[in-house]
Amino acid sequence: MNYKVVDKEKYYRKGVFRHFTEDCKCSSSMTARIDVTGLVNFSKESGTKFYLNFLYILSKVLNSREDYRMDYLYNTDELICYDVINPTHYVFHEDTETCTTVHSKYYEDYKTFYANALSDLEEAKKTREYEYDDKKYPNWFDASYISWLSYDSMNIELPDGYLYFPPIVNWGRYHVEGGRLLMPVTVRLNHAIADGYLVANVFRLLQQEINNFLID
């Protein structure tokens, strides 16, 4: 885990950061549908898991610019930016109706990421423990698949005044609309380090990276 300390006096969002860490501590959450028709077809034709393919693309998008890799260290009052952030995702156990956390490292190479994440998933199926330790996994973002429905909106609540900067991303079942497969995705980011443009940009980048993935 490597990171750089951001000089808050030279931070390009200095005024916004100060306002949303001192005057109005809040987050920004947005839900939109993205077209996953091509990615679903690729997954079926290649015999790979759509879930892991989307997780790879999501991880690539969130690692593509510093705004999505920010964090805040309470003990030193430092704004930092990680070199890399990794996805914490979940396995659902039908027998207990509970989830187990899965920690997968992000690799830019798709085949390396897929093989390791698949192994992580299989290993997590063997336990019913829920492990979420931000000291052990500091540079990790939350990625959760809500497989039971295709929803219209979602909101993640955190304690008032809690400066939690890592992205929280959820997505639901895709469904047919206008002959295409559309999937709801929800992106939550702290307003101190991301405004509406940066949240909306995640969806634009997701669609762009899906198209690039299918071309490659």
Contact 200/188 with Cβ under 8 angstroms? no
Q: Where are the domains of the chain?
A: 3-215
Question: What mean pLDDT comes out for the span 185-214?
Answer: 96
At 29 the pLDDT is 92
CATH of domain 3-215: 3.30.559.10
Q: What is the DSSP string of the chain?
A: --EEEE-TTT-TTHHHHHIIIII---EEEEEEEEE-HHHHHHHHHHT--HHHHHHHHHHHHHTSSGGGGEEEETTTTEEEEES--EEEEEEEETTTTEEEEEE----SSHHHHHHHHHHHHHHHTT-------TTTSTTEEEEEEETT---S-------TT----S-EEEEE--EEETTEEEEEEEEEEETTT--HHHHHHHHHHHHHHHHHHHH-
At 130 the pLDDT is 86
Predicted confidence band of residue 177 (pLDDT cuts 50, 70, 90): very high
At 120 the pLDDT is 96
Q: Report the alpha-carbon distance of residue 181 to residue 173 in Å, rounded.
A: 10
pLDDT, tens digit, 9 for 90 and up, residues 91-150: 999 999 999 999 999 999 999 999 999 999 999 999 988 887 777 888 999 999 999 999
Question: What mean pLDDT comes out for the span 196-203?
Answer: 97
Comparing 134 with 183, the larger pLDDT belongs to: 183
At 196 the pLDDT is 94
Q: Which amino acid is at 122?
A: E
Sign of CA dihedral 202, 208, 212, 213: positive
Contact 188/156 with Cβ under 8 angstroms? yes
Does 1 have pLDDT greater than 90?
Answer: no
pLDDT, tens digit, 9 for 90 and up, residues 20-31: 999 999 998 999
Tokens of 153: 């909106």
pLDDT, tens digit, 9 for 90 and up, residues 40-93: 999 999 999 999 999 999 999 999 999 999 999 999 999 999 999 999 999 999
Q: What are phi and psi of 96, to 5 degrees?
A: -110, -10
Does 216 have pLDDT greater than 90?
Answer: no
CB-side exposure of 115: number of CA atoms within 13 Å?
5
Of the ranges 77-86, 135-144, 156-165, 171-180, which one carries the lowest mean pLDDT score?
156-165
At 124 the pLDDT is 94
Does 160 have pLDDT greater than 70?
Answer: no
